[in-house]
Structure 1
Amino acid sequence: MEFELIRDDLVAAGLDVTICDPRQLRFEGGRLHGPNGPIDLVYRRLVIMDCLSRPDDVTALVDAARAGAVCLVNPFASDLMGHKSIFDLLTDEDRDFGLTATERNAVRNHVPWTRVLVAEADPHDHRTVGRDEVVEHRTSLVLKPVHDYGGHGVTLGWETDPREWEELVSRAVADGHLVQRRIQAHREPWPWDAPEFPLRELYVDNDPYMFRGRMGGILARLSGSGITNVTAGGSLAPTFLVRPR
């Protein structure tokens, strides 16, 4: 639905906009072409994992972007910012990224302890954690693929059987995973869609949209599980700002 909302806004602004499948694109004569003719700008909504798993379907888009023949909004390089390894870098106190004192304090308060999972950790490498330690501290850890989205592959240790956790951790060592420390998730009672609307305890996840330091909106999600991603069973909920009269 959001694809259509964005398209309608752009059309109202006088632009010629088409929603299309990447398999409908052609790169010919130095121009990218779609179902309705030449294309100057692409707003990419394809996730990078889909592009990597189906390279033949995105050849025209990749070739046009590589040739500089099209302006690609949300370019492929932007996916580096979605790579979860950025968290183990930020929580490594031995690295100086030139952050201000306020920014470093924000990292300490809002980014959970994160380490790369390895078979056996080097005691001098503060970015890694070993398999045995992760197995031992199951109830306080989360296991995540370093590059995925939507809660795919995320495992909460405290909700996992000890034997299953050990097997998952052993397999994850070779597949590129991160380990994060458990944080206290927020829960509140919410009315449930049933007769007389009984209350049910749900996890609440509020994610602000920030634009140049100012909040422009909030993504609110509710879930019965600690994983609140919509693709993992969470639900989007509208957020209202209520002021007293």
Structure 2
Amino acid sequence: MNDKKVCKTNCDSAADLLNRACFCKTLNRAELLVSLQAQALPAEVLQHLEQLFSHTAVFISPTQWQQLQRLVHAITRVTALSAYQQAALAKAPAIAQHASTVSGVFMGFDFHLNESGPQVIEINTNAGGGFLNAILLSAQTACCNAAGTFPQLLQPQVESEFVAMFKREWQLARGDQTLRCIALVDENPSAQFLYPEFLLAQSVFERAGIKTLIVDPRELSLVDGKLFYQQQMIDLVYNRLTDFSLTQPGNAVLRSAYENNAIVLTPNPRHHALYADKRNLVLLSDETNLREFGTSGDDIKTLLAGIPRTQLVSADNAEHLWQERKHLFFKPATGYGSKAAYRGDKITKRVWDEILQGDYVAQQQIPPSERGILVDEQEIALKMDIRAYVYAGEIQLLAARLYQGQTTNFRTQGGGFAPVFVAE
């Protein structure tokens, strides 16, 4: 018993020490460039990719890795409960009531790490970066200060798992029919910041023998109950839109195709309503709600320990939340990408009035942990969060995002995506 306790303490301390004080550069950029060039990406795309990747790696302890998995499993079990789904869908748009047979690709569970373990900051249903982080694995060198392992497979195996995930979505909806064409759909995709990832995804799918298009939803047409881009019929749509309920006019054709079962759409509005609406964090961090849903005692314990207390912002609790604002983070219920999200200690009265007029939640603020890094040979500390890419309740890939500022971004020198090792 004592040996186990000592080992746990040492392993946890090792990960924290490495993050704070190891300044190794684990990314071999020349090797990464070779991997990217093999995808036949345009030169301007390769240049843009430089700012997406940090040159270092992040470490977690074996205990933190186990806690991450337990949290993901617990959330997956609760969101499958009929009572939870009834509560989550009660506030969702009509299109989210549309039954779905698919699981939803690239669920993103974002965590901050603190002394009590990983804390779920938010859940996303179209989490970007999966393909980028898979290829990042191909260009890592060992840290000289630690023995570590990835809690996942290496790049070719991760990409194979991604392909299998999309084929599984297709099978769940269409059985033994052949998946012939995937369309990756986003608004003006070539102008999106993560457009390089779209090209990587296209390359991966086409190597697997699946025709892959990158399209703006306004370029789609519905003919005789089938979805087309020009003369190409589309079977499955990989949805990267941030119009989660497909209400914008430019998404009308895609919405009609989805509602009429003309295509398999993943992720879809139901996934967003059950997972990514920030108001769900209110349900998942409240013991009374969890008990009413029929959640097991073990899962309640896991969720209360791993999801910061979250409340709806309303006129009834406005005065209390304003007094407690320095300890809170405010997020729009259906927001994404940290847009219109505010740290409570930074908001003004004007911003507070806007929050009261909007549909916001207040989450107990969990400061991000830090990763020491060399920038121009100077030692600095960047904030970090951990993203778990999840499918059907299982973690496929872990990645960190390193940044400075109030929220995650890709503008920080030395920041960007970083691989995650489990410190042994």
Question: TM-score, normalising length from structure 2?
Answer: 0.49
Give the count of matched residue pairs: 226
* In 1, Cα distance between equivalents of 2:420 and 2:365: 29
Asked if residue 33 in structure 1 is aligned to residue 228 in structure 2, the reply is yes
Letter in 2 for 1:62: R
1:82 is matched with 276
* In 1, Cα distance between equivalents of 2:350 and 2:410: 26
Work out which of the residue numbers 219, 229, 233 in structure 1 matches 2:399: 219
1:228 is matched with 408
Alignment of 1:68-147 (within 5 A): 68-80=261-273, 81-95=275-289, 96-120=292-316, 130-147=317-334
* In 1, Cα distance between equivalents of 2:327 and 2:246: 34
* Greater helix content: 2
Q: Is the 8 A contact 1:151 1:232 kept in 2?
A: no
What secondary structure, in the 3-state scheme, does the structure 1 residue paired with 2:382 have? strand
* In 1, Cα distance between equivalents of 2:302 and 2:340: 27
Paired-residue identity, %: 23
1:102 Cα deviation from its structure 2 partner = 2.5
Q: Is the 8 A contact 2:287 2:304 kept in 1?
A: no
1:201 is matched with 381
2:182 is matched with none
What secondary structure, in the 3-state scheme, does the structure 2 residue paired with 1:147 have? coil
Unaligned runs of 5+ in 1: 121-129
* In 2, Cα distance between equivalents of 1:38 and 1:15: 13
* In 2, Cα distance between equivalents of 1:36 and 1:14: 19
Q: Is the 8 A contact 1:131 1:169 kept in 2?
A: no
1:70 Cα deviation from its structure 2 partner = 1.3
* In 1, Cα distance between equivalents of 2:412 and 2:320: 27
2:249 is matched with 56
Q: 1:70 to 1:188 in 2, by over 3 A?
A: closer
* In 2, Cα distance between equivalents of 1:230 and 1:108: 31
Letter in 2 for 1:42: V
Q: 1:93 to 1:231 in 2, by over 3 A?
A: farther
Whose RCO is larger (CA < 8 A, sep 6+)?
Answer: 2
Q: 1:5 to 1:28 in 2, by over 3 A?
A: same
* In 2, Cα distance between equivalents of 1:105 and 1:218: 24
- Cα deviation code 1:21-68 (max 9, x no counterpart): 11110112221110342212211111225943xx22111111111111
* In 1, Cα distance between equivalents of 2:413 and 2:338: 9
Q: 1:234 to 1:181 in 2, by over 3 A?
A: farther
What secondary structure, in the 3-state scheme, does the structure 2 residue paired with 1:87 have? helix
- Cα deviation code 1:191-212 (max 9, x no counterpart): 11x2xx1111211112223445
- Cα deviation code 1:113-150 (max 9, x no counterpart): 10000112xxxxxxxxx111121122111111111111
1:11 is matched with 206
* In 1, Cα distance between equivalents of 2:265 and 2:235: 9
* In 2, Cα distance between equivalents of 1:76 and 1:211: 16
Question: TM-score, normalising length from structure 1?
Answer: 0.83
1:178 Cα deviation from its structure 2 partner = 0.5
RMSD of the alignment, in Å? 2.5
Q: Is the 8 A contact 2:285 2:304 kept in 1?
A: yes
Unaligned runs of 5+ in 2: 1-195
* In 2, Cα distance between equivalents of 1:92 and 1:132: 21
Q: 1:223 to 1:140 in 2, by over 3 A?
A: same
* In 2, Cα distance between equivalents of 1:12 and 1:184: 42
1:183 is matched with 366
Letter in 1 for 2:215: C
1:123 is matched with none
Q: Is the 8 A contact 1:221 1:235 kept in 2?
A: yes
What secondary structure, in the 3-state scheme, does the structure 2 residue paired with 1:173 have? helix
Q: Is the 8 A contact 1:88 1:116 kept in 2?
A: yes
Q: Is the 8 A contact 2:282 2:312 kept in 1?
A: yes
